[in-house]
Amino acid sequence: MQGRYSISDSALNRAAEVAIKECLGIQPQETVLIITNCSQEVNVISRALYNAAAEAEARPTMVVQPRKSQLEFAEQSVYAAIAANPEVVISISEEKLGKDRRGVQSPYAHGVRSYDSVFHYLLYGKKSIRAFWSPRVTREIFKTTVPIDYGRLRRHCRLLLPLLDEADGIEIRSPRGTELFVGLAGRKAKADDGDFSRPGLGGNLPAGEVFISPAVGTAEGRIVFDGSVASADGVMLVRNVIEAEVKKGFVKEVRGGREAETLLASITRAEEQCRTMEAEGSLPQGQGEVYARNTRHLGELGIGLNPAATILGNMLCDEKVRGTCHLAIGYNYDEDAPALIHLDGLIKAPTLTIILPGGRRQVIMEEGKFSGEATFRASGRS
């Protein structure tokens, strides 16, 4: 019998059990790597997950490293543990997992794709591991947003995925002034639906979004972030809206108050660090400018679907809020616009109109309400 941690929080233990059994589908004797930090908030979640994995007769291991930002490298031992190819990898981090120094310097190739971390290489390339990651998670977020109806969530994801896959583009408007076109031709949407039961599957917990990488260089218009926005040092609730002008897929100008200044400072800092890393040899010759340029690229459109999530100033939770969408500045998930950062910004009550081949238009969300809500209810899927 494996040892257990003593945790008296029954709601946390229940959420950990849902994550291990329902989301990951852990089987006896599977190897489970849990990576975390020292702070009590994330460490206690990790210990609850360790207990739940042990209870499922798996073989859990927990690795603790110092807190890492998305501009820092993880400890070498962390990526060495991932490279050992466990069946399951879980990251419960105070901020971020940290970058793979070896992968950034010499990317891992798989077919025509290359990956700047062994984690992505094993998950998306070789598809030999499955995983979930929870950056900046708190105990309350984990307890309230993980134990949800995953059957319902997955049905809603399946309704949205083919619409985005078929679309040539999407128009995003919002009451606060967002007017943006994003090209989607040739892109495939992904669902963070909490199903991490097979190799090659991974996502956040809490789960609850459909997301897609915009076609490189296609986004045009104005974004108005009015919910929350990520910076290199954390997430801010937006008190004064942030306006971002986008041309040919890249953010050209950021306007607003203190929050806008913080976002712009994070972008500028990341651009400078790309060039410094190339000079130091941490990025291959010529890649510093590539990474710096993509720092301002629009890397993601996501649509929130988790009914238990609320806007808290924690992007892990905020971006899952049903009736919102988010756009990220920085790297994308199709691995063709590498950057050091991925900064999500939330838009409340958007209207989303997909542009289908031949120019046909279809509204899928109007001011935060899905156009299919009545259909969901009529079919018993709400």
291-301 average pLDDT score: 97
Question: Does residue 377 surpass a pLDDT of 60?
Answer: no
Question: Does residue 164 surpass a pLDDT of 60?
Answer: yes
Phi, psi of 78 (to 5 degrees): -65, -50
* CA–CA distance, 155 with 157 (Å, rounded to integer): 5
pLDDT given at position 265: 96
Question: Does residue 175 surpass a pLDDT of 90?
Answer: yes
Single-letter amino acid, residue 73: F
Question: Does residue 374 surpass a pLDDT of 70?
Answer: no
Question: Does residue 115 surpass a pLDDT of 60?
Answer: yes
To which H or E segment does residue 291 belong?
helix 287-294
Cα R_g (the chain), whole angstroms: 20
* CA–CA distance, 170 with 52 (Å, rounded to integer): 41
Question: Does residue 335 surpass a pLDDT of 90?
Answer: no
Give the tokens for residue 33. Answer: 């790597």
pLDDT given at position 375: 42
305-310 average pLDDT score: 96
pLDDT given at position 258: 93
Tokens 């920085």, residue located: 330
* CA–CA distance, 372 with 382 (Å, rounded to integer): 10
Single-letter amino acid, residue 373: E
* CA–CA distance, 378 with 382 (Å, rounded to integer): 8
pLDDT given at position 6: 83
Question: Does residue 378 surpass a pLDDT of 60?
Answer: no
* CA–CA distance, 352 with 364 (Å, rounded to integer): 6
Question: Does residue 313 surpass a pLDDT of 60?
Answer: yes
pLDDT exceeding 70 applies to what percent of the chain? 96
Ramachandran area for residue 79 (φ above 0: left; ψ -120 to 50: alpha; else beta): alpha
pLDDT given at position 71: 84
Question: pTM of this prediction?
Answer: 0.86
pLDDT given at position 292: 96
* CA–CA distance, 325 with 20 (Å, rounded to integer): 28
pLDDT given at position 70: 82
Average pLDDT, the chain: 94
348-375 average pLDDT score: 88
Q: Are strands 250-255 and 242-247 parallel, antiparallel or unpaired?
A: antiparallel
pLDDT one-digit tens code per residue, 16-34: 999 999 999 999 999 999 9
To which H or E segment does residue 140 belong?
helix 139-145
Residues 6+ apart with CB under 8 A from 313: 228, 235, 236, 237
Grade residue 372 by pLDDT with cuts at 50, 70 and 90.
low
pLDDT one-digit tens code per residue, 206-250: 999 999 999 999 999 999 999 999 998 889 999 999 999 999 999
CA-closest candidate to residue 326, choices 143, 222, 172, 219: 172
pLDDT given at position 376: 44
Is 217 exposed, middle or buried (CB count within 10 Å of its CB: 0-12, 13-18, 19+)? Answer: middle
Single-letter amino acid, residue 279: A
Question: Does residue 354 surpass a pLDDT of 50?
Answer: yes
Cα 370 to chain centroid, rounded: 22
Single-letter amino acid, residue 47: R
pLDDT one-digit tens code per residue, 86-107: 999 999 999 999 999 999 999 9
pLDDT given at position 232: 86
Residues 6+ apart with CB under 8 A from 45: 12, 16, 36, 92, 134, 137, 139, 142
Single-letter amino acid, residue 344: D
46-54 average pLDDT score: 98
Question: What domains lie within the chain, and their CATH numbers?
Answer: 10-141 (3.40.50), 148-378 (no CATH)
In order of 72, 95, 313, the CA distances from 138 in angstroms are 21, 11, 12
Give the tokens for residue 269. Answer: 């800092």
